[in-house]
């Protein structure tokens, strides 16, 4: 009798898991807007972290090139040219099938959104766009001192113009990507305010 009840409960758990919806949250946004901060908040909520940029970094290592923002953009554009504008997201899909919540960082092309926003057996995809005032983002960029970041305000503004839109579908198109967002987060304030915005989004999922 006990074994039969135990087996029934196991089957119920398995059925529950099959129909349980897990979430894949994509992150897009301008440079130094705070996508990493949002990702850290989600990781604390048991989301498994992935980044499309990790694919680019691996490609740079394979080619023996140094990691810089310029090289990351170039190798990303080259991969999209050879494999299509959604290639980075296509390569990521295999990592998103486990019965967990996932967060995918560094989405910079509308085709990547379309690829991730597919029909999953147990998951649902939503895109979050993270932004902040340009002056705040530039200040954060200077403070983090990451390799390849712009060294001056003029360079920062110029780099943004190159990343935001392009007539070439195989290049970064941040503006078009942000327009596809299901949720928008203004990260011009405090970490507490950012937490509140993310909690509100999660409660709406």
Counted residue by residue, the chain has a size of 205
Q: Could you read off the pLDDT tens digit of each residue along the chain, which spans 205 residues?
A: 444 444 434 444 444 444 569 999 999 999 999 999 999 999 999 999 999 999 999 899 999 998 888 888 899 889 999 999 999 999 999 999 999 999 999 999 999 999 999 999 999 999 999 999 999 999 998 888 776 678 888 888 888 887 877 788 878 899 999 999 999 999 999 999 999 999 999 999 9
pLDDT of residue 12: 46
Please report whether residue 70 resides in a domain.
Answer: yes
Please report whether residue 198 resides in a domain.
Answer: yes
**Could you tell me the residue range of the domain that residue 175 belongs to?**
22-204
pLDDT of residue 147: 67
b/e per residue 152-184 (b: at least 16 CB within 10 A): eeeebeebbeebbebeeebbbbbebbbebbbbe
Kindly give the interhelix angle for 153-164 and 69-83, rounded to the nearest 10 degrees: 10
pLDDT of residue 82: 94
The C-alpha atoms of residue 54 and residue 106 are separated, in whole angstroms, by 9
* CA distances from residue 151 to 128, 148, 157, 199 in whole angstroms, order as listed: 28, 9, 11, 34
33 Cα distance to chain centroid: 13
Please report whether residue 17 resides in a domain.
Answer: no
pLDDT of residue 6: 40
For the chain, the domain total comes to: 1
β-pair type (22-29, 101-105) = parallel
CATH number for position 73? 3.40.50.300
Please report whether residue 13 resides in a domain.
Answer: no
pLDDT of residue 7: 41
């Amino acid at each position: 009798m006990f074994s039969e009840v135990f087996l029934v409960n196991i089957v119920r758990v398995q059925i529950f898991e099959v129909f349980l919806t897990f979430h894949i949250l994509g992150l897009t946004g301008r440079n130094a807007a705070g996508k990493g901060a949002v990702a850290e908040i989600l990781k604390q909520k048991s989301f498994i972290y992935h980044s499309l940029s990790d694919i680019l970094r691996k490609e740079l290592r394979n080619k023996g090139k140094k990691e810089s923002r310029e090289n990351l953009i170039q190798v990303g554009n080259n991969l999209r040219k050879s494999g299509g504008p959604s290639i980075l997201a296509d390569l990521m899909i295999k990592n998103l099938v486990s019965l967990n919540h996932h967060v995918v960082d560094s989405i910079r092309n509308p085709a990547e959104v379309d690829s991730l926003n597919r029909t999953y057996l147990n998951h649902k995809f939503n895109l979050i766009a993270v932004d902040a005032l340009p002056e705040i983002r530039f200040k954060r960029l200077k403070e983090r001192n990451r390799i390849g970041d712009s060294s001056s305000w003029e360079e920062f503004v110029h780099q943004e113009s190159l990343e935001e839109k392009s007539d070439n579908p195989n290049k970064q198109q941040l503006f078009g990507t942000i327009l596809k967002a299901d949720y928008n987060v203004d990260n011009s304030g405090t970490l507490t305010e950012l937490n509140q915005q993310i909690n509100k989004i999660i409660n709406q999922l």
